[in-house]
Chain A
Amino acid sequence: MLWQPPAALALSAPAAHASVNAGTVNTTNEAGWQAHGNGWNFRYLQDTVTLPDVTGNVFKTAFASYGASLRLANGNQILDLGISTTTSSGDYNGGFAVEYKNLSYACINGASPVMHAGDTVKMTLFYDYTAGVAHYSIADGTNHTSFTGTCADLDQFFGSAQVVAGFAVNDWSAPSPAVNQVPGNVRLVQFRNTVVTSRTGTRSSIGYWFGSLADAEARDDQ
């Protein structure tokens, strides 16, 4: 879950499943990318994001708030490291939570310094399978602030690694209100230097897109 005053925001439930034809997973509330495959688990995610200013009218007509997240997920829970904002304030706050399918939470941490539109942040999420502890960080390279923490979450396996932008309060629920269309092509956010590591450090090469036919759309940057 992504935490910020006044409105918490996070991303919605993935329709994660393996398929012989890797492709797009349609959603109504998010867009991004995930690694997933039968027998594969993941321990590390990293991305760099320059926080966009979403206080303009084009975004206000589309949504009230959104967040960019890294997730390690399984069928019961999601480790969610996110940074979110609203179209009214424009300021960003980092947040971390374990979000369970039954809509309960653990390890909630919203004690993030305010980060600003235009800042470039590096997000990392690591799950130590030996210790059963998640480590997370959002480092603001522009203002040299950071949001970090750990979470004990024993004996988990995460078969999905996801980098997404979404509009729901909880990863397992849909956004309300729904996201509206915008005129023309409007880029919300760019994820750069995406890095993922499998649990055993083995090369992986599978991916799914989220949401190309529903709300937002994720596209490869050429």
Chain B
Amino acid sequence: MTSDGTPTGTLLASVPFAWGKFAVSPDSVVRDGRNFSVWMPSAS
């Protein structure tokens, strides 16, 4: 990372997250709004 926070690398969207929605707001919030769950490891 750079000291001033300026991105220098290519941003990639991983699977399954692909943050594509950008909500214009006073805070310039990067908004995904995505839901996800954490599941316990399954023995079956």
Say whether A216 contacts B41, CB under 8 Å.
yes
Chain A: CB-nearest residue to B42: A185
Tell whether, in the assembled complex, residue A187 and residue B38 are in contact, meaning their CB atoms are under 8 Å apart.
Answer: yes
- Majority DSSP secondary structure for residues of A touching B: loop
User: Which A residues from 168 to 209 make CB contacts under 8 A with B?
Assistant: 179-209
User: Inside 8 A of A182's CB, which chain B residues have their CB?
Assistant: 40-43
Q: In the complex, A188→B36 CA distance in Å?
A: 11
Could you say which residues of chain B place their CB within 8 Å of the CB of A180?
A: 41
CB distance from A110 to the nearest CB of B (A): 23
A187's partner among B9, B13, B39 (CB-CB below 8 A) is: B39
Number of interface residues of A (CB under 8 A): 62
Report the nearest A residue to B22, measured CB to CB. Answer: A203
Task: Determine if A220 and B34 form an interchain contact, defined as CB atoms under 8 angstroms apart.
Answer: yes
Q: What is the interface of chain A, defined by CB distance below 8 A to chain B?
A: 18, 20-23, 31-33, 35, 37-41, 44, 58-59, 62, 129, 157, 159, 164-165, 179-209, 214-221
